[in-house]
């Protein structure tokens, strides 16, 4: 009788271990270009945001930025999925009024200027399926060069007199995209 109970207890414990193992969740390792978001206002305590962008943050890792974001070609503005831009209020990009909503934010890098593009495309990988007919607004913005190199592609917002500037930076390249009210 004791042997039967012992055997039953061991069998039960073994079955429980197997069932716990079968239910264990497998998590992927950290993405090499992790997702990030930038907002304005940037304070996490501020819930009344004007603008937000979610994007992948590729790293140079000894590579040339121009190979990763080639001049003259539509780029997803980051890595992996195309950057997703949310405007919480109607804003202007250049002379184009953009209604509050969620869009894809592409750029076309260039040596002296980048073209910022707001598109109705959503939930797209990269810029492989970019369609110019879905553009809501485009604006050419000048490129400036910094002394400091940024390893990771970065986006930050800064208040301006008439709205907010979205600053894009990677390597020594800096671009400021003006959004106005």
pLDDT in tens, 86-117: 999 999 999 999 999 999 999 999 999 999 99
Q: Which residue has the higher pLDDT, 8 or 173?
A: 173
Q: With the CA atoms of 28, 34, 80 and 163 taken in that order, what torsion angle do they form, in degrees rounded to the nearest 10?
A: 150
What does the pLDDT read at residue 33? 87
b (16+ CB within 10 A) / e for 57-78: bbbbeeeebeebbeeeebbbbb
Mean pLDDT, all residues of the chain = 89
Cα(166)–Cα(89) distance, integer angstroms: 15
């Amino acid at each position: 009788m004791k042997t039967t109970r012992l055997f039953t207890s061991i069998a039960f414990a073994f079955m429980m271990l197997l069932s716990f193992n079968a239910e264990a969740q497998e998590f992927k390792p950290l993405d090499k270009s992790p997702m990030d978001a930038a907002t304005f206002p940037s304070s996490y305590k501020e819930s009344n945001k004007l603008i937000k962008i979610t994007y992948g943050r590729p790293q140079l890792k000894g590579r040339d930025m121009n190979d990763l974001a080639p001049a003259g070609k539509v780029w997803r503005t980051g890595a992996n999925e195309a950057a997703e831009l949310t405007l919480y209020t109607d804003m202007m990009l250049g002379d184009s009024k953009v209604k509050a909503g969620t869009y894809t934010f592409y750029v076309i890098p260039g040596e002296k200027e980048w073209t910022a593009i707001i598109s109705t495309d959503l939930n797209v990988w990269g810029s492989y399926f970019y369609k110019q007919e879905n553009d809501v607004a485009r604006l050419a913005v000048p490129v400036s060069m910094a002394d400091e190199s940024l390893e990771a592609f970065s986006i930050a917002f800064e208040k301006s007199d008439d709205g907010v500037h979205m600053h894009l930076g990677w390597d020594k390249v800096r671009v400021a995209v003006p959004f106005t009210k």
